[in-house]
Amino acid sequence: MIHHHPGDELLLAYAAGTADEAVSLIVATHMSYCAVCRERTAKLESLGGALLQDLPPAELEAGALDNVLARLDAVKPFERPRRAASRDGTPAVLRAYIGGDLSTVRWRSMGPRLSYAPLFKRGKVSARLLRGVPGADSGVHHHCGTEFTVVLQGGYTDPTGNYGPGDLQVMEDGMSHNVVADPGEDCVNLAVTTGRLKFDSLLQKIAAPLFGF
């Protein structure tokens, strides 16, 4: 049961194709768990199409249609790479970035209880997988920029609530929290950050840049 969904502005940005790659990955991953948001996004998409239809027609330059047709001829049809089905329920959109299932990820250790795997970095925007054993504690940290998190396995709790598979959390610029992995299986999250995290503890202040946080 999913309790935490993206807001309409995120779904709209996704539906309109204006969200950047990392945010699109977050929303698409959430939607692979969430039928409610899939349906809502489909509605937003058809609403966008209806709005476009209502726009007054614009004059086209002479030859515009020929230009478009010529460009279509030049485009090679996109062939979606064929991948075997996931063995562990890893969302397809995420498998494309991991290059396989969650169970095949090579984790890098950040101490005995936490590990991570970078997915990509575009300027200040980073997408990574985070993994914590039950009881693992992120330490109090402040956000510069926004952090988007989707739980993939297990769960975690912070002062704002409890998050399980498919739940999406948005931490805005300037907010701080402390995340503790729930009992049971390891907690695995997809996290996108648009800025660096600032940690309260001295050890983490030293360690964070080493791990690219």
Q: Where on the chain is the footprint of Zn ion (CB under 5 A)?
A: 5, 34, 36-37
Minimum gap (Å) between residue 30 Cβ and Zn ion: 6
Closest of 206, 195, 153, 202 to residue 171, by C-alpha: 195
Minimum gap (Å) between residue 150 Cβ and Zn ion: 10
CA distances from 169 to 1, 110, 129, 160, 193 (A): 15, 22, 15, 9, 12
Q: Are 150 and 167 in contact (CB under 8 A)?
A: yes
Residue (37 or 129) nearer to Zn ion, CB: 37
Minimum gap (Å) between residue 40 Cβ and Zn ion: 8
Minimum gap (Å) between residue 189 Cβ and Zn ion: 16
CA distance 126 to 23: 10
Kind plus residue range of the DSSP H or E element containing 53: helix 35-54
CA distance 197 to 209: 9
Residue (44 or 197) nearer to Zn ion, CB: 44
Minimum gap (Å) between residue 106 Cβ and Zn ion: 30
CA distances from 171 to 70, 91, 119, 141, 152 (A): 46, 23, 20, 11, 18
Residue (35 or 210) nearer to Zn ion, CB: 35
Residue (36 or 65) nearer to Zn ion, CB: 36
Residue (47 or 70) nearer to Zn ion, CB: 47
CA distance 185 to 166: 15
SS (H, E, C) 33-52: HCHHHHHHHHHHHHHHHHHH
Minimum gap (Å) between residue 187 Cβ and Zn ion: 19
Residue (117 or 170) nearer to Zn ion, CB: 170
